[in-house]
């Protein structure tokens, strides 16, 4: 990862609600131990649907989801991204469909994938984030970086242009757009040259049957119409 792509964990935690920060600051080690659920408790809550849950069970499930996210944040700080992914995944599985915090969990997991160079997984989690929260800037940023690494430059530019629309002052936005635009143009030129080479090889294969090659033909551009014509030249 380059410095441009480093994900500041403080940015992740800024998205946490004020009530969560207050609760976590007051939480002692003894309290943490008492609120942690066993695997059997978690599995029991996962197996029943939201409709079947009592209000107390729903509350417990939300608490477990937030607890998993907090653990994931701690692993992220320690750069233990694999463990962080496991905790964020648990937070996602325990959260309800209408829970807006689910966007945070997906985007946090995307940050882990970005740090591990898992470009496709990062892009996928960011797409899920955006589906829940269409104005989530960091999701567009992380997906844009992932698309850039996958050489999907058009898609990458779309994400960065969306950020520009939502927040023109987003850090390093303009330099990213310039960088990716340059890469896109270079790839276009490379693809064009490759296509020309393939067409020439195909032409030589067909013309070779008649003792000719593409070198026997000259392409000329009409200065008035801008169209091209091909003329046979005798060597």
pLDDT at 221: 67
Task: State whether the Cα torsion 73-68-145-136 is positive or negative.
Answer: negative
Instruction: Report how far apart, in Å, the C-alpha atoms of 174 and of each of 89, 163, 170 are.
Output: 33, 10, 9
Contact 63, 45 (CB under 8 A): no
Instruction: Report how far apart, in Å, the C-alpha atoms of 232 and of each of 166, 200, 214, 228 are.
Output: 56, 15, 9, 14
Query: Which architecture characterizes domain 3-133 according to CATH?
Result: Alpha Horseshoe (1.25)
pLDDT at 194: 73
pTM over 0.75: no
Measured distance CA(120)–CA(113) in Å, rounded: 9
Using the CB atoms, write b or e for 96-123: b if 16+ within 10 Å: eeebebbbbbbbbbbbbbbbeebbebbb
Contact 108, 76 (CB under 8 A): yes
> Under 8 Å CB-to-CB from 169, ≥6 apart: which residues?
none
Measured distance CA(157)–CA(132) in Å, rounded: 21
Beta bridge partners of 232: 217
Domain range list for the chain:
3-133
What DSSP string describes the chain?
A: --GGG---HHHHHHTS-HHHHHHHHH--HHHHHHHPPPHHHHHHHHHS-TTT--HHHHHHHHHHHHHHHHHHHHHHHTT-HHHHHHHHHHHHHHS-TT-THHHHHHHHHHHHHHHTT-HHHHHHHHHHHHHH-TT-HHHHHHHHHHHHHTT-HHHHHHHHHHHHHH-TT-TTHHHHHHHHHHHHHHHHHHHHHHHHHHHHHHHHHHHGGGT--GGGEEEEE-TTT--EEEEE---
pLDDT at 189: 83
For residue 222, the tally of other CB atoms under 10 A from its CB is 9
pLDDT at 213: 63
Question: Tens place of pLDDT for every residue, the chain, 235 residues?
Answer: 544 444 444 444 444 444 444 444 444 333 343 335 555 555 554 544 556 788 898 899 999 999 999 999 999 999 999 999 999 999 999 998 878 899 999 999 999 999 999 999 999 999 999 999 999 999 999 999 999 999 999 999 999 999 999 999 999 999 999 999 999 999 888 777 777 666 666 666 666 666 666 666 666 667 777 666 666 666 5
């Amino acid at each position: 990862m380059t410095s441009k792509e480093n994900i500041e964990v403080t940015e992740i935690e800024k998205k946490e609600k004020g009530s969560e920060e207050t609760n976590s600051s007051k939480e002692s080690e003894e309290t943490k131990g008492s609120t942690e659920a066993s695997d059997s408790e978690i599995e029991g809550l996962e197996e029943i649907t939201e409709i079947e849950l009592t209000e107390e069970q729903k509350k417990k499930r939300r608490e477990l989801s937030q607890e998993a996210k907090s653990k994931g944040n701690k692993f992220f700080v320690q750069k233990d991204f694999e463990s962080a992914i496991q905790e964020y995944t648990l937070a996602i599985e325990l959260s309800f469909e209408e829970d807006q915090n689910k966007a945070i969990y997906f985007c946090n997991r995307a940050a882990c994938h970005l740090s591990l160079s898992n470009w496709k997984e990062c892009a996928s989690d960011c797409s899920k984030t955006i589906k829940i929260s269409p104005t989530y800037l960091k999701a567009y940023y992380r997906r844009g970086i992932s698309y850039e690494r996958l050489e999907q430059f058009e898609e990458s530019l779309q994400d960065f242009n969306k950020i520009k629309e939502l927040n023109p002052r987003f850090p390093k936005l303009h330099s990213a757009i310039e960088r990716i635009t340059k890469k896109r143009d270079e790839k276009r030129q490379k693809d064009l040259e490759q296509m020309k080479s393939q067409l020439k090889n195909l032409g030589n294969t067909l013309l070779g049957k008649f003792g000719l090659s593409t070198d026997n033909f000259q392409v000329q551009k009409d200065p008035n119409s801008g169209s091209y014509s091909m003329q046979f030249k005798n060597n």
